[in-house]
Amino acid sequence: MVAEPIIRVRGVEKSYGEGKARQSVLRSVSLDVAAGEMVAIVGQSGSGKSTLLNIIGGLDLADAGEVFVEGRDYAQLDDAALSRLRNEQIGFVFQQFHLLDHLTVVENVALPSFFAGGRGGAEARALEALGRVGLRELGDRRPSSLSGGQKQRVAIARALFHRPRILLCDEPTGNLDSETGRDVVGFFQSLNRDEGVTMLIVTHEERVSQAAQRVVRIADGKIVAQEGRSVELPPSGAASVRTDEGPTP
């Protein structure tokens, strides 16, 4: 029996603007992502890849089509239910770190607890998340005193605060030097391999796409190719992957 995909997108359409200025960004996009899969979305600037990621994450709404995450139909969720799903089941990592300089590192990581309406044990959970990215000892520092790589690791720790099953990343290595970028990609691979975190990563960098089990290519708002194919994961959650060269049908 084939398991239900953790992310299922069907016929998604998205446009921006009005009248003659209206521009179609996504055109009947359909995509399945299996639980425990690491998928890279690649394409030129303006191809629609970030818009697709934002729609999957519930940060933007599709004009048409269906989006299911964890078996839940976005069209059937009110704003509060969508916010809960987004806050508790999905972690976000962006090219811009979006850290607040007036808060300490540990307070930045604990920010999701404010939106969830419960702060009990937030500091301990934030320190645990910082420990997972190797920065527990920097919890009392301010973001302004950190390097770019450290800031991105803090942002990743914040995304992991609620231990989400899904991590959505938009150009997560775009502001990092080559060595730090490799470290971040390696950490993503370990999250996927050792903890079974499902990862969807928008990127233009080959080093990131090469780390993924599957590469989805978007051009002019359409998926034009998919390379690589994941197979069923073993019960331990460790990824078992076979890669086929060339696009799949």
CATH value at residue 1: 3.40.50.300
Look at residue 23 and give its three-state secondary structure: strand
Regarding whether 73 and 20 lie in a shared domain, the answer is yes
- What is d(CA 120, CA 118) in angstroms, rounded to the nearest whole number? 6
Regarding whether 175 and 58 lie in a shared domain, the answer is yes
Regarding whether 182 and 85 lie in a shared domain, the answer is yes
Regarding whether 197 and 75 lie in a shared domain, the answer is yes
- What is d(CA 20, CA 43) in angstroms, rounded to the nearest whole number? 25
Regarding whether 173 and 85 lie in a shared domain, the answer is yes
137 is in which domain, residue-wise?
98-163
Regarding whether 85 and 2 lie in a shared domain, the answer is yes
Regarding whether 235 and 174 lie in a shared domain, the answer is yes
Provide the pLDDT confidence category of residue 171 given band limits of 50, 70 and 90.
Answer: very high
Each residue's pLDDT tens digit, 64-98: 999 999 999 999 999 999 988 988 899 999 988 89
Regarding whether 171 and 84 lie in a shared domain, the answer is yes
Regarding whether 102 and 67 lie in a shared domain, the answer is no
Using DSSP bridges, classify how beta strands 72-73 and 64-69 pair: parallel, antiparallel or unpaired.
antiparallel
Summary mean pLDDT of the chain:
86
Regarding whether 182 and 104 lie in a shared domain, the answer is no
Nearest to 8 by CA among 51, 72, 82: 72
- What is d(CA 239, CA 37) in angstroms, rounded to the nearest whole number? 8
Regarding whether 120 and 68 lie in a shared domain, the answer is no
For the cut 90, the answer to whether the pLDDT of residue 217 exceeds it is yes
Out of 163, 182, 212, pick the residue that ends a domain. 163
Supply the pTM of this predicted model.
0.85
Provide the pLDDT confidence category of residue 160 given band limits of 50, 70 and 90.
Answer: very high
CB 158 within 8 A of CB 129: yes
Q: For the chain, how many structural domains are there in total?
A: 2
The two three-digit tokens of residue 242, written as one number: 């076979």
The two three-digit tokens of residue 53, written as one number: 């990621």
Regarding whether 104 and 84 lie in a shared domain, the answer is no
The two three-digit tokens of residue 199, written as one number: 């990862």
- What is d(CA 1, CA 102) in angstroms, rounded to the nearest whole number? 51
